[in-house]
Structure formats: structure tokens, C-alpha cells
Chains A and B, each alone.
Chain A
Amino acid sequence: MPRRRRWTDELLTRRSPLIDMAQFVVLAGALIWLGMRGAQSMGYNWQWYRVPQYLYRVIDGEFIKGPLLKGLIVTLEISAYSLAITLIIGLITALLRLSQSFAGRIIARTYLEIIRNTPLLVQLFLFYFVLSPVLGIDRFWTGVLCLAFFEGSFAAEIIRAGILSVPRGQWEAGSSIGLTRFDLYRDIVLPQAIQLMLPPLTGLAVNLIKHSAIVSVIAVFDLTTEGRNVISDTFMSFEIWFAVAAIYLAFTCTLSALVSLLEHRLARSRR
């Protein structure tokens, strides 16, 4: 085990894991059975066979995207655009917080406190009902901007921590050979800080995909909205919600696995 050993590890039993796995399977089976029975008592008609056509269809050898797949693409688009803007906002905020300018620090602090102390949903409504008519931006970009400003507050702290973790000697050495502050950041500090920032920033991408579901509230056609539309057309609430959740899970779990891989690598390279 590459993981650091904790004292609770010593409490682990030597019993065969098969028994426990069997217990787990039985419990999961029982839960599924209970759910199915509950659905049946409601007169729910399971129609799993109808789900794939809402993902994609092949007609005459031609691949046609279904609503869920289209929604997934929009979700990924939103996440990608907001991730890019998040990084810019985060970097600017982090640099302002570390800068010598008092106005910069005040603005960065105000931004962070406002974002941290209000719910994402209320921020979305503020963006949608206030900012979007004032600036004349459409729903898609309203959603992207709102998510970017929200995640930007987390990115700022990650980037700031990364920058501060670069040893002081590096700064002093850089400035003693006559680098300007800009060159110092670009050539010495940020390249070293990025290594440290990479795992938490990937975690941020996971959060971004998760939180992007909230734009369905302002009727951006992402995966969640498309799922709700399909449900109102077909009344297959359970099947479609489970399918939607599974799609989200597939993406977030893959990225989460990447995070632990990166952390693992980092821990090894530092040893």
C-alpha cells in the first residue's frame, strides 16, 4: 500500500473479504428490490428498453444523437468554458490578494466573501435576472459566467496556496538575478506552483461538472434539462433520472480517480 498508514488500519480484520462483499451485495440487492416493489405498488411500469433511444439512435447506418447525448455535450461545453474562465478569475484574484496594492486586495477579498457567503442558486438568479438583462448576454453564457465566478473563488485559494508554497529562496534568487516581478512569476514561481495546484484544480473540474447541473434552472439545455424534458414526454422518471445520474457519475468518478492518481504521483515525487 502506497498510502500512509494510519492507526485505524491496524484495527482491520483478517477475515476473508468475500463474506463482507457478499453481505454488501445482499444489502444492495435488498435495497433495489425494495425500490422496485415500492415502484410496483405505485403501478410503475419499468421501461428500461426505451432508454437507449434517448441517448442515440442509428437509422440507416447513420448515427443520430438523442436528447441525453446532446445535453451531455452541452454540459461538457459549459464545464469547459467555465473552467477556462474560472482559471483566469482565480489567477487574477490570487495575484491581487498577494499584490502590494491595497485596492486590489480589497476587491479580491470582497469578491471572495460575497461568493463564499451566498448560495450558488441565488448567485445564478442574480446573474440571470439582474446581470443578463443589464449586459444583454444570453442564457448559456449567463450560466457559464455564473459558474466561473462561483468556482473562481475556490480556484483563487488553490492558486494562492500553490504560489505561497514556493520557497522564499526561489523568490529571492529570482529577484537577485534581476528578474522583474512579471518574469519572476512567469518563469520561476508559477511553473513550480502548477505542479502542486494540479490535483486540487482537477477536483475543481469535478465540482464544475456537478454544479453545472444547476443551469437547468434557467433552462439551458444541459443534461439535467434534457433529462427533465424526456421525463415530461415519457413519464419514465426513475429510468431517466438513474441514467442521468449514471452519466454524471461516470464523468465525475473518472476525474476523481485522476485526482488521486495525480496526488499519488506528487507524493512520490516529493519523497
Chain B
Amino acid sequence: MISPHGYRRPRVGWLDLVIIALAVAVVAYFAYRVDSVLHYRWNWPRVTQFLVRWDDERQRWVANLLVEGLLTTLRLSIWGIIFATVIGTIMGLCRISRKLFPRLLSRSYVELIRNIPPLVFMFIFYFFISSQIMPLLGIEAWVRRASPGSLAVIEVLFGQPRLMGNFVSGLICLALFEGAYVTEIVRAGIQSIPKGQWEAAQSVGLSRLQVMRDVILPQALQRVVPPLAGQLITLIKTSSIVSLISVQELTFLAGEVANTTAKPFEAWIIAAAMYFVVCFVLSVAFSRLEQRLAEAQR
């Protein structure tokens, strides 16, 4: 059978042997270069000690830099997707509005953000946010006045209180950035609802707002959830970019660990592996869930 459409019986062909030989050769060449040319000394425990550490005072294991960074990354991503969804829903509704003005507004927001490099966007916005919006929000003063009880809550929700200002500015950048992508998801979700739904709702005398709120949006949201879940995974990856504006998430702290231990190979491999595990597990889980939902609806 020659077309790739059909069923293939697994068997070992000449191509397999060539590929396996190539892969082995590449790995061997790497090992040779690392060992004999660079004289690199692997020292995994030197870096893995930054995953978790034993706290003598509290008598238990606590997160060290790398796990701390992963938690910050996850906090950033979850808050980020929440805010991006809010922005995206508003902008997505603007995108299909009857009036030209909201359409112009949301269209230019989406196009502007999708066509500028994320890095350049972060640098411009961070500069703007840290100098203009952060003093306006007054978060740092608020954290300083907070009681110990609310500080504990803040620590769970946002990470270390003293880094809160930094965290929030990274979060605003990310949410504005991802909002543009969520806008398109929401728009596609609303436009995927069949026209008949709209006509039926109008023919029973609902107003435009009621049609949107009671008929279209509930159905659209259902369709929006799977791509939004995918967007969360994208956000976890995109969030690494805020390390460049010194938000202390996984990529930033992995860089710190690589510098202090002088073991860049291990540090970056572990950081990449941590991202991989989180994103891979989430993507498998989401696709399982989606399958189950699809079966349940049938």
C-alpha cells in the first residue's frame, strides 16, 4: 500500500535501520564532543538540590528556586488566562458588533498585537506599565499595609508578597497579549452558532441583548472552552518571555540557577523538562476531556 491514507502493518524496513543508525551516530557524536572536547563534568545533584530543600525550622520539604519558579509560572498562566478571557470576551463581542466603531477598535487591537513581536510588545508595555500604571494601582503600598492573614492569602494566590508589583506588571503584559488571541477564539465561537438559533430566538420576541445573553453566548461558551484550554498551554509557554522583564518565574530562576552553579547544561535541561511535563500532561488531559465530552454529547 503506497498512499499514507490506509492501514500500515508495522515491520522493520531499511529506512528504520538508516534512521536508527543516524540517531545513534548523532548521540555518540554529542557525547564525544561533550566529554572529550568540552571536558564538561556532569553534576546533576548540584542542580537538583534547587528543586526542593529541607527546611530545618519548619521540619518539612519546601519548594526551592526551580519549583518556586514553576509555581509562579502556573500562577501567572492561570491569572493570565482569566484576565485574557475577560478581555477576549469583551473584544470578541466588539468584533461582531453592529457598529463599526467597536469593530475598528477590536480589529486594531488584535492586528496590532498579532503583528508585533511579543518581545517588543513586552518591552514597550513593561516600560509603560511600570512607570505609569503601577503607581496608579498602588499595589506595593497596599501589600505593605496588609495584615499577616491576608499576606498568607496573597502568598498562595500571587507568590511572595514583596514581588507582587513585579508579578502584576508581568501579568498585565501577558493578559493584554493573550487577550488578542482569545478575542479571535471568542469571535469564532459566536460565529459558529447556526443562524437558525438567532432567528428562532428573535421570532419568539427576545430582544437583541436577550438573544445574545440567553441563547447565543451559552452555546458559544461551550464551543470556546476547548480552544481556551489550548490557549492556556500556549500561555504557559509564552509566559517564559516575562523573564526578560525580571518577573521571577521558571525561566528567570533557571537562569539564576545556571549562573550560580555554573552548570548550564543540567539547569536548562531540567527547566525544559519541567515545562515539557506540565504542558504535555495538560494537553493529554485536555484532549481526553474533549473526547469524553464529545462522546457524552452524542
Contact = CB atoms under 8 A, between A and B. Distances in A.
Interface string A121-135: 111011001100111
B4 A98 contact: yes
A61 B188 CA distance: 53
Contacts of B147: none
A35 B19 CA distance: 57
Given A21-B100, A21-B104, A113-B280, A168 B2 contact: no
A23 B243 CA distance: 38
* Consensus secondary structure, chain B interface: helix
Contact of B98 (A12, A135, A217): A12
A42 interface: yes
B101 A20 contact: yes
A117 interface: yes
A13 B99 contact: yes
Given A7-B198, A168-B3, A253-B115, A120 B237 contact: yes
A235 B280 CA distance: 43
Interface stretch (A81-89, A194-202, A243-251): A243-251
A104 B272 contact: no
Interface string B118-137: 11110110011001100000
Contacts of A53: none
A217 B123 CA distance: 12
Contacts of A98: 4
How big is chain A's contact interface, by range? 35 or more
Contact of B15 (A19, A42, A103, A248): A103
Interface string B185-213: 00000110111001000000000100000
A184 B2 contact: yes
A211 B5 CA distance: 34
A15 interface: yes
A224 B118 CA distance: 11
B9 to A, nearest CB: 8
A8 to B, nearest CB: 4
A101 to B, nearest CB: 4
B117 interface: yes
Contacts, number: 191
Contacts of B16: 101-104
Contacts of A213: 117-120
A184 to B, nearest CB: 7
A96 B38 CA distance: 33
B275 interface: yes
A191 interface: no
Contacts of B23: 103, 107
A73 interface: no
B268 A129 contact: yes
Contacts of B271: 122, 125
Nearest to A25: B104
B153 to A, nearest CB: 29
Interface in B201-236: 208, 233, 236
Contacts of A15: 99-100
A163 B4 contact: yes
B241 interface: yes
Contacts of A46: none
Contact of B275 (A113, A122, A206, A237): A122
A232 interface: no
Interface of A: 6-8, 10-13, 15, 17, 19-21, 23-24, 27, 35, 38, 42, 96, 98-104, 107, 113-114, 116-123, 125-126, 129-130, 133-136, 163-164, 168, 171-172, 175, 181, 184, 206, 209-214, 216-217, 224, 227-228, 237-238, 241-242, 244-245, 248-249, 252-253, 256
6 contacts: A38-B132, A102-B16, A118-B279, A119-B239, A119-B275, A129-B258
Given A102-B10, A104-B19, 12 more contacts: A8-B191, A21-B104, A102-B16, A119-B239, A119-B251, A119-B275, A120-B237, A130-B264, A168-B3, A171-B2, A214-B241, A244-B120
